[in-house]
Every structure is written in structure tokens, then in C-alpha cells.
Amino acid sequence: MENMTLIVSDRSLKTGLPDCGDTVLIDLTKQGIRNCMGCFGCWTKTPGRCVIRDDAVRIYPLIARSRRLLYVTRVRYGGYDVPMKTLLERCIPVQQPFIRIVDGETHHVQRTVVPKEAVILAYGTRDAEERALFRRLTARNARNMNFAAWRVVFCDETAVESQLRKELAAWENS
């Protein structure tokens, strides 16, 4: 799947997705993902492989391979809420421990991670300050997660599915 679009959602979608070729949907409510325990086993013991063998080990290779990535997440304190954050912390096997300089800052060398176009569909923010902070967070993530381009779309919790459809349609037509 060279042109894979991956959707990772922290809420179950009530209706199916429109039928679009190489699209994979991960519903985080149906995954068992434990917390990263900061052991660095994925760098220094079994490089490229997390030592915790749960559902996360199926998902981070998909994130690495995707060309288009869409995260659906609740926002908490200007960041991802627990389910998405738990997954993101478990994704460090996609990086090497070794450090390089990127845009004048130190960052890890990536393993085979396709540069991607990312959309983060974020709901549950309380005010403009929280939205601004979440945007700052995604700008930092872009450097560590190989986002070639990214966009944050804020929406109301009730509008998540319709907004998701709009984003997918925009990708289909681009």
C-alpha cells in the first residue's frame, strides 16, 4: 500500500467510511494499548520493535507507511487526550536513538517513515487559547513525526463525522 491513507480515531464512527481505495481506519476505542514505560528497548534492545507486544505494534508501522494521516482526537489542556497520546508515545520505535539537526534544532533520525500530509481533526477545545496551544503542539510534532504538511481542523464534538467526510472528500479530489 504505497499510497495509504490512515485514519486513527479516538471515537467510534457511527456510519461507515466512504469507499476510498487504500484507506485504513483504526478505532482506538477497540484497541488495547498500554503506556510507554520509557525503557528505550525499541532503540537499544530490539531496535525498531517495541518490547510491549500489544495492539500498538500493529499501528505504528501503519503510521510510518501512510502518506496521508488523519487523527481524530479530543483535546485536553491544549494537547491530545489520553487515548491518542498513549498511542503517540508508543510510536518511538519508528525513530532511531541517534540525533541529527533539523531546522536548527536537535531531533531523532527517522527509520523508514514516509513523509506525510497530516490532518488533525480536533474536538472538545474550550477556548481560543487552547486551540492556539494545540496548533503549537502540532507544529512541534511535525518535526518529530515527519509531517511534510499538516493542518489542524477544530470542530464541535457533534460535527466530527461530517467534518471527517469533508476532509476525506477533499483528499479524494486533490
Partner 1 sequence: MGELLILNGSPRAPRSHSRRLADLAAGCWKGNTVCRDILGADLNGLCAETGRASHVLLVFPLYADALPVPLLKFLTALEESPPQSRPVVSVLINCGFLEPHQNDVAVEMVRLFCRQNGYPLGSALKIGSGEAILDTPFRFLVSRQVRRLVRSMSRGACRTFSVTMPLTRRQFVSASTAYWLRYGRSRGVTKSQMETMDIEPDGP
Ligand X SMILES: Cc1cc2nc3c(=O)[nH]c(=O)nc-3n(C[C@H](O)[C@H](O)[C@H](O)COP(=O)(O)O)c2cc1C
> Which residues of this chain interact with ligand X, rule CB under 6 A?
36, 38, 89, 92, 144
Q: Which does 47 bind (CB under 5 to 8 A by kind): partner 1, ligand X, none?
A: partner 1
**In this structure, what are the phi and psi dihedrals at residue 143, rounded to the nearest 5 degrees?**
-75, -30
Residues 4-43 that bind partner 1 (CB under 8 A): 35-40, 43
As given in the structure block, the three cell numbers for residue 119 are: 490532518
Q: How many residues bind partner 1 (CB under 8 A)?
A: 56
As given in the structure block, the three cell numbers for residue 47 are: 531496535
Smallest separation, CB 146 to ligand X (Å): 14
CA distance 129 to 54: 36
List the one residue out of 119, 113, 2 whose CA is nearest residue 63. Answer: 113
CA distance 104 to 55: 35
Q: Interface residues with partner 1 (CB under 8 A)?
A: 35-40, 43-45, 47-49, 53, 57-58, 60-61, 64, 76-82, 85-86, 88-89, 91-94, 96-101, 104-107, 109, 111-113, 126, 129-130, 133, 136-137, 140-141, 144
